[in-house]
Chains A and B, each alone.
Chain A
């Protein structure tokens, strides 16, 4: 199809029609419109979305590369939203996750989109759930959202997925830190990657032990080496059969609600003005909350 008018001139409906019938450029353009707040898409039905998070350098992207291999071989269509931070100074970003996902650039059944956090506080990209819905609507059967870190701010993003995978490395102890932040309770599966390095098994045992002490019931802990292609098959089997856990569903809804609320607040054009009002003493915190609620009320129509 030759589009001499230019794809930029196509309206949302035309793009959606094209995207649904498999046109990558139309899909890609719609993702940009969602990212820039110019299009919203909340139609969703049977979304299969996996949030992957963990500390930097534990091999999340490499592991996702292996999952892509397995799933595309099994006939699935895999979409990845790879979130990386923007520089708080320049606003720019280097988005390098896709280069670790080998084979992510071949074949029609893989789509990797890199997203910069664009300094949304807490790394929350408003509208990321619309992107997930759009992928699902266009027939993508495995949607992965990758974020770095294991702090409170990252759960906001991965909570938008209905399945959550935490990745750690051997001997890091980050998961024990993550436990304090309450992230471990939200995970469906925990993976200790880089089992080619020593003490991976020990780390996995420590995590299992720490899980068994709490109220969390049996989160499976896997040991993998994405580099040496070990333990991946078992992980895929577990992911495929994973039914979103009802008892953790409310935790996720809580996070999703809070993320949406936060992004509504911070994306309001009056937000910065309210901060100034508080700073120069003309408004108290509770007054500011009241006016913020009013502003959001006007914006959100039932």
Chain B
């Protein structure tokens, strides 16, 4: 898969994004890392130019409830409905429902085993191939849980 790993907004902490990028590479994916402090618009531009299959958004700033919906909206406006979007970082339990409702299909918090990210991506590919909804602009209702 071609996966864009993005840092959005005023958030300079990218150790997590870099670790995830490395792990995804080692799992055989092509990872495009955006660098820090990208705007939602810039991130969508990168996805278009790179023809990515998936987007991983890393956020630790507390602005996830504003910035993630913004990214998802622009993606849908650009007809990138099939793109698989997942998020990671500090996203409290109480905010997660709203994030899932934007079309994000997985949220990975601190302490996540990288294997569960691979499992999520494999499951997503399976769903995509069998025609099940998994993209950011497709029918809601399914998201990844570790159990």
Contact = CB atoms under 8 A, between A and B. Distances in A.
Interface of A: 2-3, 6-8, 24-25, 28-29, 31-32, 86-87, 89-96, 98-100, 105-106, 111-114, 116
A114 B49 CA distance: 9
B49 A92 contact: no
Contacts of B10: none
17 contacts: A6-B82, A24-B49, A25-B79, A28-B48, A28-B51, A89-B26, A90-B25, A92-B28, A93-B25, A93-B31, A94-B21, A94-B31, A95-B31, A105-B38, A105-B42, A113-B50, A114-B32
Contacts of A114: 30, 32, 50
B49 A113 contact: yes
A254 B26 CA distance: 36
Contacts of A31: 51
Interface string B60-94: 00000000000000000011001000000000000
B24 interface: yes
Contacts of B33: 94-96, 99
Contact of B79 (A7, A100, A113): A7
Question: Does more than half of chain A's interface fall in helix, strand or loop, or is it mixed?
Answer: mixed
B30 A28 contact: no
Contacts of B26: 87, 89-90, 92
Interface string B19-39: 001101111111111110010
Contacts of A93: 25, 30-31
Given A94-B25, A105-B42, A111 B49 contact: yes
B28 A90 contact: yes
B27, B34, B45: which has the most chain A beta carbons within 10 Å? B45
B24, B25, B48, B49: which has the most chain A beta carbons within 10 Å? B49
B140 interface: no
B125 interface: no
A212 to B, nearest CB: 41
A100 B36 CA distance: 11
A107 to B, nearest CB: 9
Contacts of A28: 48-51
A92 B29 CA distance: 4
Given A28-B50, A112-B49, A92 B31 contact: yes
A261 to B, nearest CB: 27
Interface in B125-139: none
Nearest to B38: A105
B46 interface: yes
A29 B21 contact: no
Given A28-B48, A29-B51, A99 B34 contact: yes
A90 B21 CA distance: 13
Given A6-B82, A94-B31, A25 B48 contact: yes
Nearest to B36: A99
A96 B25 CA distance: 12
A95 B33 CA distance: 6
Contacts of A87: 25-26
Nearest to A114: B32
Contacts of B38: 105
A132 to B, nearest CB: 16
Contact of B28 (A6, A24, A25, A91): A91
